[in-house]
Amino acid sequence: MTARALSLLGAFTPDRASLSCSDLARRTRLPLSTVHRLAGDLVTWGALERDADGRLRIGLHLWEVTSLVPHALQLRESALPFLADLSLATQENALLAVPEGPDVVLTEWVAGRAAVPVTLRVGGRMPVHATSAGLVLLAHAPVGVQDQVLGGPLPRLTDRTITAPDRLRRVLADIRCRGHAVSDRMVHPDSLSVAAPVVDAGGRVVAALSLVVRAGSTDAAAVAPLVLAAARGAGRELRRCGDGSRSVRPSAPGLTTG
């Protein structure tokens, strides 16, 4: 029964944030009567709620509970002041992301007043091979994880996205040497991003802190020192607050500093 209830919650996606019981039955392949019963229980608890049209959406109580995950909360709280300072200094979007399988998940971001328009959502996924945050995390992942990602599909998002595994391996090696990653119009033709690793007390890269700017508006080399300083500051705060090695729940555990 628990698995069925979780399957209902898992049916919601960013582009399907509101669903009817019939929608849920089709997406989960559960009997409509079962969906009605489970949905009622989830609404009563607060995991789901009904909108004005009677359709279901994720409830506020579920968000409140998940936001209490202690180690994820520690990571976000450690990084947020540095994200805010970075965004304030540059007037650009500053992001924090963690690894999750072949993607990276955005866990926090601060919007800059003069920032390039981007579609961002906390909890949203970004491709690991194209974003600067993803490249940083992949560069410091175990070889087996890198092989898995490079051996899978590498979708081309723009004509600058790296989709050749051999070339991507060279890029990852360069990132480990330089200490930061650059994604120049690899996700969107108007954006450039620079990212650096956030390192915990165990020496593991548990997150990546990045800055997104308009392509052509500034040189990556000019903002890289700011991003590196912010990431190092976030790592220091994380280590000061305690053991951050459990701050994220990567699908591929054991990200190390190389």
Same domain as 222, residue 124: yes
Statement to judge: residues 56 and 36 lie in one domain = yes
Same domain, 9 and 24: yes
pLDDT tens digits for range 79-103 = 999 999 999 999 999 999 988 766 7
> Is there a domain that residue 218 lies in?
yes
Query: Out of 34-38, 97-101, 214-218, 240-244, which region has the weakest mean confidence (pLDDT)?
Result: 240-244
CA distance 91 to 232: 20
Query: Average pLDDT, stretch 232-237?
Result: 94
Q: Does 134 lie in the same domain as 74?
A: yes
Is 252 a residue whose pLDDT tops 50? no
Domain end point (choices 18, 34, 65): 65
Residue 29 lies in a domain: yes
Q: What is the dihedral of CA 150, 156, 161, 165, to 10 degrees?
A: 20
Give the domain range for residue 107: 70-241
**Could you tell me if 60 and 81 lie in one domain?**
no
Number of domains in the chain: 2
User: What is the phi/psi pair of residue 127, to 5°?
Assistant: -70, 135
The tens digit of pLDDT for each residue in 184-221 reads 999 888 889 999 999 998 899 999 999 999 888 788 88
Q: What is the mean pLDDT of residues 125-133?
A: 90
User: 174 with 124, same domain?
Assistant: yes
As a whole number of angstroms, the distance between CA 192 and CA 3 comes to 41
Which residue did the predictor score with more confidence, 63 or 162? 162
Residue 251 lies in a domain: no
- Percentage above 70 pLDDT, the chain: 85
Do 77 and 150 lie in one domain? The reply is: yes
What is the domain-level CATH number for residue 209? 3.30.450.40
Q: Are 61 and 74 in a shared domain?
A: no
Are residue 80 and residue 25 in the same domain, yes or no? no
Tokens of 180: 């930061």
Is there a domain that residue 139 lies in?
yes
Where is pLDDT greater, at 253 or 200? Answer: 200
Could you tell me if 158 and 36 lie in one domain? no
Reported as a single tens digit per residue, the pLDDT across 154-169 is 999 999 999 999 999 9
Do the domain assignments include residue 129? Answer: yes
Residue 125 sits in the same domain as residue 208: yes
Residue 252 covered by a domain: no
With a cut of 80, say whether residue 174 has pLDDT above it.
yes
Share of the chain above pLDDT 90, in %: 49
What Cα–Cα distance (Å) separates residue 183 from each residue in 26, 104, 154?
39, 14, 15
Residue 42 and residue 116 in one domain: no
Euclidean distance between CA atoms 210 and 185, whole angstroms: 15
